[in-house]
Amino acid sequence: MRKYIVSFILIGTMFLSACNFGSSTEKDLADVLSKLNSAEEKYREAQGELSSLEKSEQTLFNEIIQLTQEEKEELETKVSEVEESLEKRLTFLEDEETSINKAKESVGAFDEIINKADDETIKAEITELRDSINNRYDLHSDFVEKYKVLADLQKELYGMLIDEKTEVSNLQEKVTEVNNQNEAVKKVINSFNEATGTVNKLKDDLFNTLAEK
C-alpha cells in the first residue's frame, strides 16, 4: 500500500509555553501556529486509523489472491471484508480532509501579522512561511484527489475478484492500474512531507530572526 503521511506542523513548545514574548509579532505568530496545530489534530488521528486499516486490508488481499473460484464462499467473505475496510478508509479520509480544511481557515491570519510587522526582513520571512503552509495544504488536496482515484480502482479490483467472468489478463491490467495510481499517491505524499519539513524550517528560522531583533 502507500507510504503514510505522518508529519505535521511542529509549533515549538518553547514558544507556546513561554510566559513572555519578545514582540507582539512573535506572540501573534505563535497563536496562529497553535491554531493550525490544533485544527490538524483530527488529521493526525485519521492518519493512524488509515495506517491500521491499510495494513489489515493488505493482509486480507494477500489471503484472497491465494484462493480459487472453487473456494467461492471464503472468497466472497474476504472480499466483503476488504470492501468494508475500504469504505472505512474513505470515512477517515473525509475526516482528514475536513481537519485540513479547518486549518486552512486560520492561514489568512498571517496577512494581518505581515501588515503589522515594521521590519521588511520579518515581513518577507512571514510571507514565505505563509506561502509554504498554503503550498503544503494544496499538496494535501492533491493527495486526497489521487487517493480517491486509487480507492475507486481498488473497488473495481475487489469486484473483479469474485466475478467468475473475470479474465486473468483483465485482472492483471487492473492490478497494474492500481499499482500505478498507488505510485502517484506515494509521490504526492513524499512532496507533502518535504513541504512539511520546509514549513518547520521556515518557522524555526523566523522565530530565531525574531529572537535576534
Is 4 part of any domain? Answer: no
Question: What confidence score (pLDDT) does residue 198 get?
Answer: 93
Q: Which of 162, 199, 212 is nearest to 32 (CA)?
A: 199
- Please give the share of the chain, as a percent, with pLDDT higher than 90: 70
Cβ-based neighbour number of residue 72 at 10 Å: 12
Q: What is the pLDDT of the chain when averaged over all its residues? A: 87
Q: Is pTM beyond 0.75 here?
A: yes
The residue type at 8: F
Question: CA 116, CA 26: separation in Å to the nearest integer?
Answer: 12
Give the pLDDT band (50/70/90) at residue 23.
Answer: low
Residue 117 cell numbers, joined: 510587522
Is residue 18 situated within a structural domain? yes
d(CA 32, CA 35): 5
Residue 111: inside a domain, yes or no? yes
pLDDT digits (tens, 9 = 90+) for 142-185: 999 999 999 999 999 999 998 989 898 999 999 999 999 999 99
| Statement: residue 15 has pLDDT above 80 | no
Containing structural domain, residue 113: 13-212
Residue 199 within a domain: yes
Q: How many domains does the chain have?
A: 1
Does residue 3 form part of some domain? no
On whether residue 1 sits in a domain, the answer given is: no
- Which CATH number belongs to the domain containing residue 134 in this structure? 1.20.120.570
Q: Answer whether residue 2 is part of any domain.
A: no
Q: Residue 51's pLDDT band (boundaries 50, 70, 90)?
A: confident
Q: Which three cell numbers stand for residue 81?
A: 471484508
User: Is residue 7 situated within a structural domain?
Assistant: no
